[in-house]
Amino acid sequence: MRHQRFNALPGFGLTMGYTLFYLSVIVLIPLGGLFLRVFDLTWAQFWNLATADRALAAYKLTFGASFIAALLNSVFGTITAWVLVRYRFLGKRFLDALVDFPFALPTAVAGVTLSDLFADNGWIGQWLAPLGIKAAYSPLGVIIALTFVGLPFVVRTLQPVLEDFERETEEAAATLGAGRWRTALTVIAPSLLPALLTGFALAFARAVGEYGSVIFIAGNLQYKTEIAPLLIVIHLEEHEEGKAMAIAVVMLIISFALLVSINLLERWASRFQK
C-alpha cells in the first residue's frame, strides 16, 4: 500500500496559487505600473531625464554611500555576531536586543537623533569638528545613517551560521599547527562567506531604499548630499512625474542587477565551500 506524504498545509496547487497572487499584488503589479508609466516617454526623453546632472549626482551618492555602509557593516557586523555567539558576559542579552533597535526605531527619529549627535555642536560632532571632519550635513552623514539602519541585517544573518559552526573543526586546525589567524582565514572565513554575502546584499538593498534617517543628517544639498529617493519625492511634489518615474526605474534596474550579481557570487561561494 502506497503511503502519501503528509503536509500540514493544503496542496501544492493552492499554496503556489496563493503565493503567485500575493507576490503579484505586492510586487509585480506595482513594478509593472511603474514601467507602464515610463513607456509613455520616448527613449530620448527617458534618457535625458534619467541622466540629468542632478540625477547622476544622486545616483553616485546613493549607491556609493550604500556600498560603503554595507562594507562597514560586513566588517563590524561580523565582529558583533562573533562576540554575541562565542562569549558570555554581563549585559549580553541587552546588547543582543540592542542590535534590533534600528528595526524598531522610526527612521525619522533615527535621522533627527543622528543629526543632533553628529552636528558640529553635538555630543560626537564637537570632537570631530576640530579635526576638520564634518559628519552631519555631508556625504559622511549619509554613510553614518545608512550604516545605522543596515547593521542588523549582517548580524542576524551571521548569527545562526556561527551558532551551528562546529568548534571541533577549529580544534582540529589548531592540532595540525594552524595559528589563530590562519584558522580564521582558512577554516572559519570560507564557512561564513555565503552568509556574509547575503548579509551584505540585504544591508546594501536596505541602504539604497532608505529615506527617513538620511534626509535629516544629509542636509539635502543639490549635487552634494541629495539622495535619489529624496530627488524622486522632490520631483513628485513639483508635479514632474516623468522625472520621478525615470529615476525610479534606473534605481530599480541597477538595484536588481546588483542583487542578482551578489546572489550569483553567493552561489559560487557556496560551491567553493563544498
Task: Output the domain CATH number for residue 74.
Answer: 1.10.3720.10
Cβ density class 118-139: b for 16+ within 10 Å, e for less:
bbeebeebeebbeeeebbbbbb
**From CA 94, how far away is CA 200, in angstroms rounded?**
24
Helix (H/G/I), strand (E/B), else coil: 21: helix
Contact yes or no for 46/183 (Cβ under 8 A): no
**From CA 93, how far away is CA 32, in angstroms rounded?**
44
**From CA 28, how far away is CA 2, in angstroms rounded?**
40
Output the pLDDT for position 5: 59
**From CA 115, how far away is CA 136, in angstroms rounded?**
6
Contact yes or no for 62/74 (Cβ under 8 A): no
Task: Confirm whether 246 is domain-assigned.
Answer: no
Task: Confirm whether 65 is domain-assigned.
Answer: yes
DSSP secondary structure letter of residue 188:
I
From the list 162, 155, 146, 163, the residue with the least C-alpha distance to 69 is 146
* H or E, element range at 19: helix 12-23
Residue 177 region by backbone torsions, left for phi larger than 0, else alpha for psi between -120 and 50, else beta: left
Task: Confirm whether 209 is domain-assigned.
Answer: yes
Number of domains in the chain: 1
In terms of residue numbers, what domain contains 69?
Answer: 56-226
Q: Would you say how long the chain is, in residues?
A: 274
Task: Confirm whether 208 is domain-assigned.
Answer: yes
Output the pLDDT for position 79: 92
Residue 105 region by backbone torsions, left for phi larger than 0, else alpha for psi between -120 and 50, else beta: beta
Output the pLDDT for position 34: 79
Output the pLDDT for position 209: 86
Q: What is the mean pLDDT of the chain?
A: 84
Contact yes or no for 92/84 (Cβ under 8 A): yes
Report residues of the chain scoring pLDDT below 50.
Answer: 1
Using CA atoms, how far residue 109 sits from 115, 137, 150, 211, 225, in Å, is 10, 16, 16, 12, 19
How buried is 62 (Cβ within 10 angstroms: 0-12 exposed, 13-18 middle, 19+ buried)? buried
